Amino acid sequence: MKIGVICEGHTDRAVIRNILKGLKGVDSSQIVPLRPDYSVDETDLSQMTVDNYSNWSLVKAECENRVKIDRFLSVEGHDIVIIHIDADCSDEYGVPKLVKNADYSEKMRDAIITKINEWLGNKFQDQILYAVAIEETEAWILTIFDKKNSTKSADPKAKLKRILSKMGIKYNNTHASFYEISEKFSKKKHFKKEKFRNYNKSLDDFCQEVEDKL
């Protein structure tokens, strides 16, 4: 089985890779990066900023275009595509921010999934796993280092930086680095013992979806 992954950046895929391994024993060789990918060459890349290479608009474009998803799913053993998106800029892609009450995370996630399905023309729904990070994937990683609920954290990126810096853990914005700092997700025993899912609702929802659909 191969799992295609469309996400905002390579760092998000690193975290998803560890989660899939920890929950379902999915080997890295089973994960196929669909976006971001290498469809842009170094000549064009040199003219792009990180923001326009790695953001929600590319996820949206990939969903609306659907060609790559369709091609990926045409091969035997290719039955699932994970679509990852952060909620931090949701109002930019047409999902207004909600009031942060008790069911904020669930409601934001539902609204974003509806939006993703709209981009997909309501196709492929049985074959999609929605990895909606509220507000950012960094909030999921925070559950490893900070035993407080990160569901409503306004700026998890900054918070993770602060906490890891305090702990003397160096990291940068690369796939390898995020793979390393989220490594604890790759073991089932850590999930059980450290109860990561209790500290972030959107992480828990994604994990539930992985357990149900994979």
CB of 189 to another protein, least distance (A): 16
Q: Is residue 119 within 8 Å of 62, Cβ to Cβ? A: no
For the CB of residue 177, give the shortest distance to another protein in the complex, in Å. Answer: 11
| Residue 120: count of CB within 10 angstroms of its CB | 18
> Min. distance of Cβ 79 from another protein in angstroms?
9
What's the min distance (Å) between Cβ of 145 and another protein? 23
Pairing of strands 31-35, 78-86: unpaired
By beta-carbon proximity to another protein, the closer residue of 84 and 201 is 84
Strand order in the sheet with 128-133: 31-35, 2-6, 78-86, 128-133
Which residue, 56 or 179, has its beta carbon nearer to another protein? 179
Cα dist from 162 to 88, 117, 144, 166, 188, whole Å = 19, 35, 14, 6, 27
Nearer to another protein, 44 or 118 (CB): 44
Contacts to another protein by CB under 8 A: 2, 4, 21, 27-29, 31-34, 37-39, 67-68, 71-77, 175-176, 179
Instruction: Pick the closer one to another protein by CB: 175 or 213.
Output: 175
Which position has the token pair 């904020």? 104
Strands (E) located in 88-210: 128-133
Sign of CA dihedral 132, 86, 160, 50: positive
Please say which residue, 93 or 124, places its beta carbon nearer to another protein: 124
Residue type, 95: V
CB of 132 to another protein, least distance (A): 23
